[in-house]
């Protein structure tokens, strides 16, 4: 198609939360490799510093933001400061999230509040703060990293699954709201990925059911048709496609990156 955009993330300002490790770090590295300008957000200042050093080998602009995304006032002030420094945020990737393996009857109020605060509250209010600036410019792309747990029963992580299912609901509602302003909103649903989170799941399941963490992980990923866990890079490529101009007519969608464990 004449005029079809090619590699179009170069020069864009991309904000990524939870950028210090796992999928967030893969997103940062991949976006840097495509020439994007990065705003990396995390609570871990030391790990974020290492992420910045890695990304500066690939791109010319990386700004680190040490922030607790559950603190709405801090979040709003930080976004305003970033906009003052960069003039715009073209892409927001809401990746920050926490997981807890805990049987339903043992989940405490603090467990619920902590998981929902990071996975849902922070995502909502950061999207609101960044989205206001995108509306002013009449363009932008917001990507939520949800989870395949949003689509299946999760009896050992009901509060986590609920938070990620709510993210999919927000994706549709936000896409409908932002559409008239030229801002797209989509989600990615990763399956089990080779991350620290998966290792923690293995340890938690082993402590509940016995055996080794390695066997617990194998049992956990057993139903996956491709017979392997995914790599964070695979999520990053999918998310950055949705963020790019190649996906200009895609909004309100949730893309599974899960090895086929959930199909159409």
Structure tokens at 175: 């896409």
Active-site residue 160, yes or no? yes
SS3 155: coil
Burial letters 46-76, b for 16+ CB under 10 A, else e: eebeebbeebeebbeebebbebbbbebeebe
Residue with tokens 């950028």: 19
Structure tokens at 45: 């200042």
Q: Which of 61, 160, 220, 249 is catalytic?
A: 160
User: What's the CA gap between 13 and 218, in Å, rounded?
Assistant: 39
Identify the H or E element spanning 256.
strand 254-257
19 in Cβ contact with 42 (< 8 Å): yes
Distance of CA 218 to the CA centre of its chain: 24
Find, among 62, 141, 54, 157, the residue nearest to 103 by Cα.
157
Residues belonging to the active site: 160
């Amino acid at each position: 198609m004449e005029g079809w955009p090619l590699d179009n993330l170069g020069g864009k300002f991309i904000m990524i939360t939870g950028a210090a490790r796992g999928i967030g770090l893969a997103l940062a590295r991949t976006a840097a490799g495509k020439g994007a300008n990065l705003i990396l957000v995390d609570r871990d200042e030391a790990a974020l510093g290492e992420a910045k050093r890695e990304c500066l080998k690939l791109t010319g602009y990386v700004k680190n933001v040490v922030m607790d995304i559950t603190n709405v006032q801090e979040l709003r002030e930080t976004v305003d400061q970033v906009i003052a420094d960069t003039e715009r945020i073209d892409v927001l990737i809401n990746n920050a999230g926490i997981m807890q393996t805990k049987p339903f009857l043992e989940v405490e109020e603090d467990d619920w509040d902590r998981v929902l605060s990071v996975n849902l509250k922070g995502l909502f209010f950061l999207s609101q703060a960044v989205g206001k600036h995108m509306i002013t410019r009449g363009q932008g792309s917001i990507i939520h990293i949800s989870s395949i747990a949003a689509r299946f029963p999760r009896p050992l992580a009901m509060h986590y699954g609920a938070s990620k299912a709510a993210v999919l609901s927000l994706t549709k509602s936000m896409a409908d709201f932002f559409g008239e302003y030229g801002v797209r909103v989509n989600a990615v649903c990763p399956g089990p990925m080779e991350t620290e989170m998966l290792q923690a799941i293995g340890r938690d399941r082993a402590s509940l059911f016995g055996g080794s963490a390695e066997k617990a992980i194998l049992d956990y990923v057993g139903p996956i048709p491709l017979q392997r866990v995914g790599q964070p890079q695979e999520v990053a490529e999918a998310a950055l496609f949705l963020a790019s101009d190649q996906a200009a007519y895609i909004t309100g969608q949730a893309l599974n990156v899960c090895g086929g464990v959930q199909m159409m």
